[in-house]
Amino acid sequence: MSEHRFTEGNLVILYAIYLERSADGRSLPDYMLERVKVCLDMLRIITRSKPDKHKTTIVVVANPESVGVVKEALLKEGVDEKIIAIDSSPKNIAQTFDRVLDMIKSRINPPHIYFVGSVWQRDIYDSIVVSKFKEYRVQFEGALDHRPVQEVEQERAFEAPRKNSEYYKKKAKDKAINMLLNHIFPEK
């Protein structure tokens, strides 16, 4: 059996959980707008190039207070309301992927999953996907985050990934390969 299942459809996860609130409560922070922009770019690529483009769903994972603002930003850019699903129950990335796994594990042909978050969330994404999504097609799309380092570090502490044995095995393997390549091809 192949490593990945045949995919049917596309699932774009727009991770839009954020801690601070805007002054008016009706606008998104710049880094959230970047995530929305990356999500829209991904949707354009899917609709132009994939034969199963009509089976695409965007799941907006956001705080209950801000989910309307994120959905409004997508609708304003021309996204069809029928393909937008809202999920405000997850509190972090790990819970988001647990919910996604519950949604897709019963399907014979699961969708191709695209996760849209900030670039610094890649290590959290990697620690989860390596262990739980081995037989699924999952792709990370990172948006730039221009916030000060203190704000990003505060949010990173909130997201704290749970690293399991698969994650550490992959890290050890990567380190061994790097050491071997450095030994074979030393810098002069």
- From 58, 74, 163, select the one nearest 115 (Cα to Cα): 58
Are the C-beta atoms of residues 73 and 33 closer than 8 Å to each other?
Answer: yes
- CATH, residue 119: 3.40.50
pTM for the full predicted model = 0.77
**Residue range(s) defining the domain that contains residue 126:** 10-162
% of the chain beyond a pLDDT of 70: 88
3-state secondary structure of 150: helix
Q: Rg (Cα) of the chain, in Å, rounded?
A: 18
Dump pLDDT digits (tens) for 55-92: 899 999 998 888 888 999 999 999 999 999 999 888 88
- Distance, in Å, from the CA atom of 113 to the CA atom of 58, rounded to the nearest integer, reads 10
Does residue 179 fall inside a structural domain? no
Does residue 183 fall inside a structural domain? no
- Distance, in Å, from the CA atom of 115 to the CA atom of 140, rounded to the nearest integer, reads 5
State mean pLDDT over 13-33. 78
State mean pLDDT over 169-178. 84
Q: Which string of b and e fits 149-158 if b means at least 16 CB within 10 Å? A: eeebeebbee
DSSP 8-state class, residue 81: G
Does residue 178 fall inside a structural domain? no
Structural domain count, the chain: 1
